[in-house]
Amino acid sequence: MATIPSCGFRRINITTHPWLLKLHKPSFSFSSISASLETSEESQPSITTTTPPKKSQSFFPKKGQTLELVCESLAFKAKGVCKVAETGFVLMCDRVLPGERFIGRITRKKGNFAEVQKIKTITPHWDCVTAPCEYASYCGGCKTQNLLYEAQVRAKEQQVHELITHVGKFCDKDPEFSATMKPIVPCDIQFHYRNKMEFSFATQNWLPKEELDAKRDGVSSYALGLHVPGFFDKVLTIEKCLLQSEPANRVLAVVQDCWRDQELGLSPYDVHTHAGFLKHLMLRSGRDVKTGLTELMVNFVTSSYNPELLVPLIEKISAIPEVVSIVNNVNTSVGNTSVGEKEYTLYGKPTITETLRGITFQISANSFFQTNTHQAEVLYKLVEESAGLRGDGSEIVLDLFCGTGTIGLTLAKKYFALLCCSQNAFNCPGNSISSRSRFIFSHQPAHMYIMFDQSEIFYGKRKFIKK
């Protein structure tokens, strides 16, 4: 038990400290106390007190609490950044945009911020536009379609700026900062630009709240579309995607019309029971070198190899003129990846072609390629300008972490030799390096060295092993 030393006690006159009356049990009359206080107050000088400025109050978010908030900016994955008034506490909310005032409900706290779900909008955001896609409110692929494209570019540029200054520790006051970060180059094409889209088959068809009541009995719960954000087992049925080409949308429509037919015996893969046949539908678009027309590859990812089950779909899909390749990737693992252990060509050729800055590429189902061909050409041109090559064919170019080597190849006319280095660039199941190398060797400079890992070197079209 702690004790207080005698030197710690001091006699206090209660008449000069009136606040002690609240703590003291009086054993005398209140009239004598009042008289003593009046005498004491007359003898004491007057003191003027000032109220200190109100400090920022601490905020302790509670699950289910509703708040009126204003979105200030966009963070990674287009999450709206909001702050509680007078506290500065950060709240993150999905599907809100800068300037939007809304009512939100706190769903959970994570460290020094909390997540909020939007209940309703009070006033809309700046640069408001109508989203052209009917799935924009639910699909996770295009969260900012209702934001003007120029505003999207500004928001992205702000995110990059914060990463460079806060994480990279670059000073934006430095005169050379403009060389470190340059303005974003917008894309001239906002829709139908993707040359690859991957859709998933599922046993659970996710429906928005307004459609749940209208759901009819007997309607199939199977789905083919895109995953709902936050759910690995629920898929939103997509009839048409504005990101892919129109021929690809025609293929998607054909598959949607007939794959649920019970007579075909097709079933979606169940991620819980691991039963079912169809896993993914991948669509890749390219261009024929001679005609310039669209080439389309259809890739069915299945849990087993049963090509006879796909025959009815193949017959209908192959009737579309742009379809030049139908392949089947077989993925027997319980994982839901689209890359199979084996690949079979069911119709047409095993690859499609694409031209990038005058270079022709043969693209297989699992090859990596820039998904936005138009903007990739813009990007590679900027790389060429930034590299500052003399262009007299006397220089050696190093393309480090080259991946498939497309950047170095597009500069082929500018240098004498190219050395590409990338560890495990083509280490994909079911695809040997020799078969993958056709992807980039269809057009190459005379002096080209490609090192895919620390043991293998390609020179021209011959393979040498370096010990």
DSSP string of 118-144?
EEEEEEPPTTB---SSTTTTT-SS-TT
Closest Cα to residue 346, out of 302, 308, 304? Answer: 308
Q: Residue 213: what residue type?
A: D
Determine contact, residues 137/208, Cβ cutoff 8 Å.
yes
Could you give the CA distance from residue 246 to residue 196 in angstroms, rounded to a whole number?
Answer: 12
State phi, psi for 230 to the nearest 5 degrees: 95, -5
Rounded Cα–Cα distance for residues 97 and 78 (Å): 8
| Ramachandran angles phi, psi of 163, nearest 5° | -65, -40
- Cβ 405 vs Cβ 450: under 8 Å: yes
Report whether 322 contacts 294 (CB < 8 A).
Answer: yes
Rounded to whole angstroms, the Cα distance separating 168 from 165 reads 5
Which two tokens mark 438? 């056709």
Q: Determine the residue type at 466.
A: K
CA distance 361 to 324: 16
CA distance 232 to 367: 24
Cα(454)–Cα(121) distance, integer angstroms: 56
CA 182 to chain centre: 22
190 is in an annotated binding site: no
Structure tokens at 162: 């914060």
**Which residue, chain included where needed, has tokens 């505003």?**
151
| Main-chain dihedrals φ then ψ at residue 307, nearest 5 degrees | -60, -25
Structural tokens at position 241: 């995607």
Closest Cα partner for 365 from 285, 262, 463, 268? 285
- Within a 10 A sphere around the Cβ of 344, how many other Cβ atoms? 15
Measured in residues, the chain has a length of 467
Q: Which of 444, 407, 412 is nearest to 425 (CA)?
A: 407
Nearest by Cα to 245 from 288, 299, 284, 187: 284
> Is 9 marked as binding a ligand?
no
Residue that is written with structure tokens 């079979």 in the block: 344
Q: Give the residue numbers of the binding site.
A: 370, 401
Binding-site annotation: residue ranges for S-adenosyl-L-methionine: 370, 401
